[in-house]
Amino acid sequence: TAAVLSGRELAAAIRSETAAEAAQLSAAGTAPTLAVVVATADESSAWYVRSIARAAEQVGITCDIVDLGREATGPEIRRTLDALSADDRVHGVILQTPLPPGVDAQEMALAIRFDKDVDGANPLSLGRLAAGLPAFAPATAEAVVRILEHHGVEPAGRHVAMVGRSTVVGKPAAHLLLDRNATVTVCHSRTRDLAAVTSAADVVVAAAGRIGLITADHVAPGAVVVDVGTNPTVDGGLVGDVNATSVGEKAGALTPVPGGVGPVTTALLLAHTVQAASTLRQS
């Protein structure tokens, strides 16, 4: 059976490092501050925002939730992001999704100043990432790489099948893995014979948002599987994109849901905020 690649210990390590840096910055007169802009009444989004706020406070980061309500318009959201980008007191800015119908997240995120873009939502950040220039990667994409490295799975030279090509997970994760010298195949909903592609890979990263998409037929014996999926279940639980029962009997290692990529993602958001505070302070 597959080894369980937990994200909890790594998340705790990142949080304690972040807490130490936050304390230093605060003592020096810069209280690291993260602003989360919300324009939805979505329940799972509200749950996620509360968990970020709680985690931030625990490491000594001030978290401002700016709730514009689900009636917010594009120009309103943009003005808010502009104001936060200009506010010296704020070091990190996140725009929570979903957004009201007709409001495009990437279009809005262009208003997040790139050195405060701690979740890599501004298309400029993704472009810089692709070009190999310094930028914040989306926390989830970075979490994929960090969890692999933490468990001693070096991407270099390995064939990674990335399932999903979204701008928040699949594409940035593919770039981060490429930068670490992995051979990356990016799969998506139009990929013909997904199982043939993924079962040829050493590492399968599932970020499709489809419950149970990845089964034993999709993985090579002994492969490493990272499950990014966070799909809500009817009973209020959370399941991944990987059928853990069938994959667990064939894969060499598998990240759990919950307790895998998720906690590392939140920890990295906080780490990025402290990093932004430190950089902005010196500029």
The residues of the shown chain that bind ligand NAD, judged by CB under 6 A, are: 140, 163-166, 168-170, 187-189, 191, 194, 207-210, 213, 228-231, 261-262, 265
Q: Which amino acid would we find at residue 96?
A: Q
- Minimum CB separation of residue 209 from ligand NAD in Å reads 3
- Minimum CB separation of residue 16 from ligand NAD in Å reads 20
**94 vs 224, beta carbon nearer ligand NAD:** 94
- Minimum CB separation of residue 214 from ligand NAD in Å reads 9
- Tokens representing 175? 């770039």
- Minimum CB separation of residue 131 from ligand NAD in Å reads 21
Q: Which amino acid would we find at residue 29?
A: G
SS3 196: helix
**25 vs 261, beta carbon nearer ligand NAD:** 261
Task: Name the residue with tokens 């992995």.
Answer: 182
- Minimum CB separation of residue 173 from ligand NAD in Å reads 9
Q: Which amino acid would we find at residue 10?
A: L
- Tokens representing 272? 């990025």
**26 vs 191, beta carbon nearer ligand NAD:** 191
Query: Which single residue brings its beta carbon nearest to ligand NAD?
Result: 166
Could you give the dihedral angle defined by the CA atoms of residues 82, 170, 13 and 15, in that order, rounded to the nearest 10 degrees? Answer: 20
Strand partners, 203: 160, 224
**191 vs 278, beta carbon nearer ligand NAD:** 191
- Minimum CB separation of residue 81 from ligand NAD in Å reads 20
**229 vs 248, beta carbon nearer ligand NAD:** 229
**116 vs 171, beta carbon nearer ligand NAD:** 171
Per-residue three-class SS string for 183-209: EEEEECCCCCCHHHHHCCCCEEEECCC
Distance separating alpha carbons of residues 280 and 32, to the nearest angstrom: 10
SS3 21: helix
Number of H helices, E strands in the chain: 10, 11
